[in-house]
Amino acid sequence: MSAPASESASAEPLVLADTTGRVRLLRLNRPAQLNALNDALMDALGAELLKADADPQVGAIVITGSDKAFAAGADIAAMTDWRYQDVVANQFITRNWETIRRVRKPVIAAVAGFAMGGGCELALACDIIIAADSARFALPEVKLAMLPGAGGTQRLPRAIGKAKAMDMCLSARMLDAAEADRYGLVSRVVPDAELLPQAMALATNIASFSMPAVAAIKDAVNRAYESSLAEGITYERQQLYARFATDDAHEGLAAFVAKRKPVFRHA
């Protein structure tokens, strides 16, 4: 079931990694297949995500694709021969797609072109989605007699509500960027030429803050999806109290009072 880490010995990596300041940019790199997400690509992406998460010089991560496709879904050709026992034994999706759930640093999806099926689900697994005008979102798995099995049936309703999620999942309807914005699927829509600059600027801004605070905020917001309101509020309060155990919180408060810029040590 596993595929090679690149298309051939001489091929480029399936994920290109680049660091600017405190931001790690990860670019999905199977342009000829519209970044169809095969096992090797998802292994590579998972490894890069964990590397960035462990690097103290990195404060935020951006995932992007090409101008034409963020990702056109799971690799359909790769799946055609798989049987039930194959996907169970290899823990399809669980084994590598879900690595992103272990990342404590904020992950921003910068989406241009198609984000379909697994590509849309990968974007939904990120913390923030910025869409270019050209972005198109769909969960068309029903057309393959499959289902959005990389979190789509769960994250989409939480993002845009049941009625709209049912509409998309059951009809395979494609949203353009403006609709995705209206639905609350994305946080903002920008001109194509502005996609990467704006995603990088957002990531740079986030990465300038105290990392323990940023990680606590990400974790607390995610709790809103996975707990009752009462449990979530209790968790948020614990996280608030824990801020007083960090040097950065004291620095942030003192710097405001002293009317100076805070210097965070991420501790």
The residues annotated as belonging to the active site are: 74, 118, 121, 141
62: which 2 tokens? 């951006």
When binding is defined by CB under 6 A, the residue of 42, 60, 114, 131 that contacts ligand CO8 is 114
Q: If DSSP codes are grouped into helix, strand and coil, which group holds residue 221? A: helix
Crossing angle of helices 162-171 and 152-160, in 10° steps, is 140
**Least Å from the CB of residue 208 to ligand CO8:** 35
Closer CB to ligand CO8, 70 or 235, in the complex: 70
256: which 2 tokens? 């405001």
When binding is defined by CB under 6 A, the residue of 7, 43, 48, 75 that contacts ligand CO8 is 75
When binding is defined by CB under 6 A, the residue of 141, 175, 190, 264 that contacts ligand CO8 is 141
Contacts with ligand CO8 in 35-54 (CB under 6 A)? 36
Q: How far is CA 64 from CA 28, 112, 145, 211, in A?
A: 6, 8, 28, 22
When binding is defined by CB under 6 A, the residue of 46, 59, 65, 73 that contacts ligand CO8 is 73
CA–CA gap between residue 69 and residue 111 (Å, rounded): 8
CA–CA gap between residue 104 and residue 49 (Å, rounded): 10
Number of chain positions touching ligand CO8 (CB under 6 A): 22
- Locus of tokens 């040097």: 247
**Least Å from the CB of residue 146 to ligand CO8:** 4
Residues that bind ligand CO8 (CB under 6 A): 33-34, 36, 72-77, 93, 114, 116-118, 121, 140-141, 144, 146, 148-150
